[in-house]
Structure 1
């Protein structure tokens, strides 16, 4: 082999390379916040009258990574009365938490 390092991957001898010929599609917002999603039914593992926040969810092993925050979704039923602290709630999740005697706090 000769010295000099060779060509970069994708080099086609001066012809327009394939990765530049193909159209790029869509839009990826690099500033979009990515929320960890938690369903209401998962919160039944906590005791009554507990404050459930992102730290408690991580400690219980429900979430591995909080990302930019936690958003609660309304899938399932809740039997416990909890104070849930998160960045966002769907309408159905908020109604189910309050119907079970709990409170919703957005921060």
Structure 2
């Protein structure tokens, strides 16, 4: 078979890319908790599927109560909305 047919047509899939579990602020606002929101709590609530998965918080939705949220990454607008509601965004170092 010619080389041109053995090589993929478009790009490649990077096996070393970092994948994050996406959690939006509207999902966090729906939680009935006043304690810190940790990855373990998100897994217990079913918002994250696998244990040890990296978590990124995005800004879709509104947050009306002050929450302390621990995640591996935050979007800039999500961090601004959390601080505007009186909460804190704590970055967990990824291993």
TM range (shorter): 0.7 to 0.9
Task: Please give the alpha-carbon distance, in whole angstroms, between the structure 2 residues aligned to 1:32 and 1:66.
Answer: 18
Aligned residue pair count: 91
The one of 76, 80, 86 equivalent to 2:65 is 80
Task: Please give the alpha-carbon distance, in whole angstroms, between the structure 1 residues aligned to 2:14 and 2:71.
Answer: 23
Deviation at 1:31, TM superposition (A): 0.5
Deviation at 1:22, TM superposition (A): 5.0
- Superposition misfits of 4+ residues, deviation over 6 angstroms: none
For 1:57, the equivalent position in structure 2 comes to 42
Greater mean deviation of Cα atoms: 67-76 or 94-103: 67-76
- Kindly name which structure, 1 or 2, has the bigger radius of gyration based on alpha carbons: 1
Task: Please give the alpha-carbon distance, in whole angstroms, between the structure 1 residues aligned to 2:60 and 2:29.
Answer: 12
Deviation at 1:66, TM superposition (A): 5.3
Matches within 5 A, 1:31-50: 31-47=16-32, 49-50=34-35
Task: Please give the alpha-carbon distance, in whole angstroms, between the structure 1 residues aligned to 2:62 and 2:89.
Answer: 16
What per-residue deviation string (whole Å, max 9, x for no partner) do you get for residues 35-64 of structure 1?
000001110123453211111001112222
